[in-house]
Amino acid sequence: TLSATSSKLTFSSQAKMSRPVQARRLEGVDKNIWVEFVKLADTYSTVNLGQGFPDFPPPDFLKEEFTRAFSGEKHMLHQYTRAFGHPPLVKILAQLFGKLLGRDLDPMTNVMVTVGAYQALFCCFQAFVDEGDEVIIIEPFFDCYEPMVKMAGGTPVFIPLRPKAPKDGKLMSSADWKLDPAELASKFSERTKAIVLNSPNNPLGKVFSREELELIADLCVKHDALCISDEVYEWLVYDGKEHVRIASLRGMWDRTVSIGSAGKTFSVTGWKVGWTVGPNRLLQHIRTVHQNSVYHCATAAQEVVAQGFQREFEHYGKPDSYFVQLPKEMQQKRDQLVQSLVAVGMKPIVPEGTYFLVADISEFKSDVPDVPNSDEPYDSRFAKWMVKNKGLAAIPLSAFYCGPHKNNYNSFIRFCFAKEEATLKAADDILQKWKLEKTTP
């Protein structure tokens, strides 16, 4: 009968619906801060200093190469290229990083191109981390490290950078956030497969000193651990500070994968070109992950990035090098935002690198009262309130801590200052007006 048929149909569709569709490896990694905060910024912000991308154009020479690549005769740029990296790009990367690391690099085995630094990170965790392996992550950390380790079956082990306010009443610097050497040593064990290092660090802008890196390097060597070194902000270092590559330290080349991003290097985050540099004994496994997942990155974008690096290689260290000009301009933008924040009573932590700045919002707590026992960290509610009520988007620092630690540092927000003069001025206007409203009852 009709009713028997329809009840059968209902039953079978219900049976299908009740089967779990989600793989176990996705448990607990479904939330993503960027999805939520990018949507909030799109909906409410008039000034977006949240997500990290420049709103100014990339350098002219790169735009010209871009036009040439697309309008020229090289129609093969529209087709596949070598899976592990377009030959002109891996060649120039090997040349440049060979010079920076002081060793001969083979473009075919010591370099691999990825879909942004994001895919480079993903390849590393998939290639090296087994069930039961521990991976040490330094807090605050670029948020994707944790879910990527978990998806690979590993266990993240967190160690915080601990702040120590300067006594002289000076502004805090990202250098005042340090690892406790004994605490760091206590995190290493025979289960440790790798440590993730991010210098210059997102979100603090900390540039790890040579001594700090040597401490990490010695522990890696002692415990035979790998180092996944995320150096996407390698050119964005200020006040004459030096970016030290951990792969160049004693005993580290053989155990380090260095990761970079054309997005940050040339202010073209939308191109999603990244790379890994390291010994073949590590890169061969990264290639295995790549060939079985992404296989290939956009040829034309790789070609243009190769031209950009070729130009930079020829202008290396000269005043017209983009790697010299960009940090100079960014340092001015940093100082401008520091001034705006100080003027209104937010306490910035002056970053030594990157295009981020973390500020203490304790003085503004009266605007957004605390909700005791709330599941949501205070800074997250503050950032949401700020974008909805003031039109200014920033990211809560707690987003860069693991679940149990989210409330340890919850009165800070992160601003991105890789922005046009007009954007920074508009942010300043919002802050000044806010301050005025607070002081005039």
Give whichever of 344 and 416 is closer to ligand PMP, judged by the CB atom.
416
Would you call the peptide bond into 20 cis, given omega within 30 degrees of 0 as the criterion? Answer: no
Would you call 421 exposed, middle or buried from its count of C-beta atoms within 10 A (0-12, 13-18, 19+)?
exposed
Give the dihedral sign, CA 269/174/257/192: negative
**350-380 as b/e: b if 16+ CB within 10 A:** bbbbbbbbbbbbeebeeebeeeeeeeebbbb
For 22, 162, 403, the CA distances from 14, given in Å and listed in that order, are: 17, 52, 35
Q: How far is the CB of 230 from ligand PMP (least distance, A)?
A: 5
- Name residue, tokens 């340090």: 178
Q: List the end-to-end C-alpha distance of the chain, in Å, as a whole number.
A: 76
Q: How far is the CB of 115 from ligand PMP (least distance, A)?
A: 7
Q: How far is the CB of 114 from ligand PMP (least distance, A)?
A: 8
Residues 226, 142: Cα–Cα separation, whole Å: 18
Give whichever of 204 and 344 is closer to ligand PMP, judged by the CB atom.
204
Q: How far is the CB of 14 from ligand PMP (least distance, A)?
A: 41
Give whichever of 148 and 383 is closer to ligand PMP, judged by the CB atom.
148
Binding site for ligand PMP (CB under 6 A): 52, 116-118, 142, 198, 202, 230, 232, 261, 263, 269, 272, 274
Asked if residues 195 and 229 have their Cβ atoms less than 8 Å apart, the reply is no
Give whichever of 202 and 340 is closer to ligand PMP, judged by the CB atom.
202
Give whichever of 198 and 347 is closer to ligand PMP, judged by the CB atom.
198
Q: How far is the CB of 365 from ligand PMP (least distance, A)?
A: 28
Q: How far is the CB of 172 from ligand PMP (least distance, A)?
A: 21
Token couple for 382:
């503050």
Give whichever of 406 and 414 is closer to ligand PMP, judged by the CB atom.
414
For 169, 202, 246, 420, the CA distances from 351, given in Å and listed in that order, are: 17, 10, 20, 19
Q: How far is the CB of 375 from ligand PMP (least distance, A)?
A: 26
Give whichever of 198 and 411 is closer to ligand PMP, judged by the CB atom.
198
Give the dihedral sign, CA 345/53/399/243: negative
